[in-house]
Chains A and B, each alone.
Chain A
Amino acid sequence: MAPVIRTEGLTKVYGEDRGIIDLSLECGKGEIFGFLGPNGSGKTTTIRTLLDLLHPSSGRAEIFGLDSRSQSRAIRARVGNLPGGFAYEKHLTGRELIQLFARLRGISDLGRAEELAQRFDVGLDQPLKQLSRGNVQKIALIQALFHSPELLILDEPTSGLDPLMQAEFIRLLEEERGRGVTVFLSSHDLDEVERICDRVAIIRSARLVAIEDVHDMHRRAMRHFVVRFDRPVELEPFAALPGVQQLELVDGRLTFSVSGTADAAVKLLAGYTLTDIEITHPSLEELFMTYYGGDHE
């Protein structure tokens, strides 16, 4: 099947500054595709180029097989877009904003917008300037979704949402995927991307580092353990764990990292009495190190 999004050597430079360099990727129908990278890596630049707000310096992009530049209007009719840092005329209410966008989309039925507003628990009758940041973000989500688009392009969609709403949002994305909707979402949060996405493109300093299946990412991902015990323990059994790194025992607090499955570590720990345990995912920087083998700029 033809990919929904395809970029070929897509490059956008801002004078001296680089935005995105030689980006080639494909995103298939019904896929939740994550676009993961630290601040300033080029996520927003990529998205704004896809939407024809920025014109590529070189390379090209296609959405639904349509050219992102010459056929942008036809593309945007079929896309729901949540811009990063969404903002619009502050004294419009959510409803007025949705009505305007509906008119410009040729849509008269606002039923889905009302439904989404209820689901996200946000009123549509307050001016944007009176809404909290999280509630503005909900309005932004509604305007991206209310016309049931085939493709959702979401730039850091969960920013400003509380954990409850984030969970609701993830449920919604799963429903959308169930209907065959394709989702392209950017994030700098590895956990979030692992939770939501099927595949992930990882970018750094304007360049694509890898495109990975989330399952493969889990497999190679590192887990950090911080453990406290009810009595002093020996280090040796832990040093024998496969793939163990950064093993340390300070004041009865054991810390170590394992890559791949954490199964062996958990089974070993099961033989002790623990007073506390914390297992965390690696930071984005640490993830990059697994791709660069520790050698990074």
Chain B
Amino acid sequence: MSSGAPVSPPGSARSLYAIVRHLLRLQRWAPLTWGLSLGLSCALVAAIWPSISDSISQAIASYPDAIKEAFSIEQLSSADQYLDVEMLSLIVPLALAFFAIRSVARPLVGAEENSYLDALLSVPLDRRVLAAGAMISTAILLAVILAIIWLMTWAAGLAVGAGIGLEEWTLGVVNVWPIAFAFGGFALLLCGMLHSLAAVTGVASGTLIAMYLIDLLGKLSPDVEPLRVISAYRYYGSAVQDGFDLSHALGLTAAGVLLAVAGAVLFNRRDIR
């Protein structure tokens, strides 16, 4: 018997499918942990709305204008607006951008640190396909987590009769996906340059928080205002208060894709330590 006839490696599409499937499987609990915890928080906010709506409106009226503008609370007269202020303006995008950063970086630089890539890259797998798989599985998981958040909140709203606006809430939730995805792309770019999961997570989440602060300060101070263009949060805005800005959403998605492509090229060229 001779050794096996040379097997031609599977095409990129098949490899990509296998990798995405594998990475989704590795993170099969993520929708539950992230979706459930954020979904519960949102559901809670929706559930208490009916009991506090009157006092909130009075309190808001007494806030200075600058504060109202900075935190996008010009008016707070519906459950979806309350959800927007409490959850969608900070916690949910921050948490999911952080999730995306980890979800992209773990199978790349995290696997590198654990020597997992020495094993995985024994097979005829293109590193760019692996990187693409990390992005795609993250994109899918983000969508699933957001769907869980949407559903739990909607259900809670129905149960207590909070009167959440369907369109506003849906677009508000959908609007989180592009900014989180963009940070996934940024994490991939960093994976092309750094060799440690802690470093990638640190730089990416530091940038995330810095961008939030720049956007917040830019709204408060005219001096900082011009800087807002470099903040992803400027393009995130508030879909609930101001309507869904498709061009911004597509822009953030495109930025995520471009960063990811650059990251994949660098990741392919660099040494695996």
CA gap between A84 and B122 in the complex, in Å: 12
CA gap between A51 and B8 in the complex, in Å: 17
Minimal Cβ-Cβ distance residue in A for B118: A83
Report chain B residues within 8 Å CB of A149.
3-4
A207 proximal to B (CB < 8 A): no
Bin the interface of chain A by size. 35 or more
Q: Binding site of B, secondary structure by majority: helix, strand, loop or mixed? A: loop
Q: Give the shortest distance, in Å, between B6 (CB) and chain A (any CB).
A: 5
Bin the interface of chain B by size. 20 to 34
Asked if A89 and B116 make an inter-chain contact with CB atoms under 8 angstroms apart, the answer reads yes
Q: Give the shortest distance, in Å, between A296 (CB) and chain B (any CB).
A: 30
CA gap between A51 and B272 in the complex, in Å: 11
Residues A105 and B10 in contact in the complex (CB < 8 Å), given A87-B116, A89-B26, A89-B116: yes
Q: Give the shortest distance, in Å, between B184 (CB) and chain A (any CB).
A: 20
CA gap between A144 and B4 in the complex, in Å: 13
Q: What 0/1 pattern do residues 1 to 21 of B give for CB contact below 8 A with A?
A: 111101111100011001100
CA gap between A140 and B115 in the complex, in Å: 13
Contact of A76 among B22, B116, B117, B122 (CB under 8 A): B122
Q: What 0/1 pattern do residues 110 to 126 of B give for CB contact below 8 A with A?
A: 00001111111111111
B271 proximal to A (CB < 8 A): yes
Report chain B residues within 8 Å CB of A100.
18, 22
Asked if B124 and A74 make an inter-chain contact with CB atoms under 8 angstroms apart, the answer reads yes
Could you jot down 14 A-B contacts, CB within 8 Å? A55-B271, A77-B124, A83-B115, A83-B122, A87-B116, A88-B116, A89-B116, A103-B14, A103-B18, A105-B124, A147-B4, A148-B4, A149-B3, A150-B3
A101 proximal to B (CB < 8 A): yes
Minimal Cβ-Cβ distance residue in B for A96: B25
Asked if B3 and A107 make an inter-chain contact with CB atoms under 8 angstroms apart, the answer reads no
Residues A77 and B122 in contact in the complex (CB < 8 Å), given A53-B272, A103-B18: no
Asked if A77 and B8 make an inter-chain contact with CB atoms under 8 angstroms apart, the answer reads yes
Report chain A residues within 8 Å CB of B121.
51-53, 76
Residues from 248 to 289 in A contacting B, C-beta threshold 8 Å: none
Asked if B9 and A106 make an inter-chain contact with CB atoms under 8 angstroms apart, the answer reads yes
Asked if A54 and B271 make an inter-chain contact with CB atoms under 8 angstroms apart, the answer reads yes
Report which B residues bind A (CB closer than 8 A).
Answer: 1-4, 6-10, 14-15, 18-19, 22, 26, 114-126, 269, 271-272
Report chain B residues within 8 Å CB of A78.
6-7
A73 proximal to B (CB < 8 A): yes
A86 proximal to B (CB < 8 A): yes
A-B contact count (CB 8 A): 100
A40 proximal to B (CB < 8 A): no
A180 proximal to B (CB < 8 A): yes
Report chain A residues within 8 Å CB of B7.
77-78, 105-107, 147
Contact of A53 among B10, B118, B124, B269 (CB under 8 A): B118
Q: Give the shortest distance, in Å, between A61 (CB) and chain B (any CB).
A: 15
Asked if B119 and A86 make an inter-chain contact with CB atoms under 8 angstroms apart, the answer reads yes
Q: Give the shortest distance, in Å, between A47 (CB) and chain B (any CB).
A: 9
Contact of A150 among B6, B8, B117 (CB under 8 A): B6
Residues from 78 to 130 in A contacting B, C-beta threshold 8 Å: 78-81, 83-89, 100-101, 103-107
Q: What 0/1 pattern do residues 48 to 83 of A give for CB contact below 8 A with B?
A: 100111110000000000000000011011111101
Asked if A77 and B4 make an inter-chain contact with CB atoms under 8 angstroms apart, the answer reads no
A231 proximal to B (CB < 8 A): no
Minimal Cβ-Cβ distance residue in B for A52: B121
Q: What 0/1 pattern do residues 11 to 44 of A give for CB contact below 8 A with B?
A: 0000000000000000000000000000000000
Report chain B residues within 8 Å CB of A104.
10, 15, 18-19, 120, 123-125
Report chain A residues within 8 Å CB of B14.
103, 106
Report, nearest first, the 3 A-B pairs whose CB atoms are least far apart: A148-B4, A83-B118, A81-B122
Contact of B9 among A89, A105, A140, A181 (CB under 8 A): A105
Minimal Cβ-Cβ distance residue in A for B4: A148
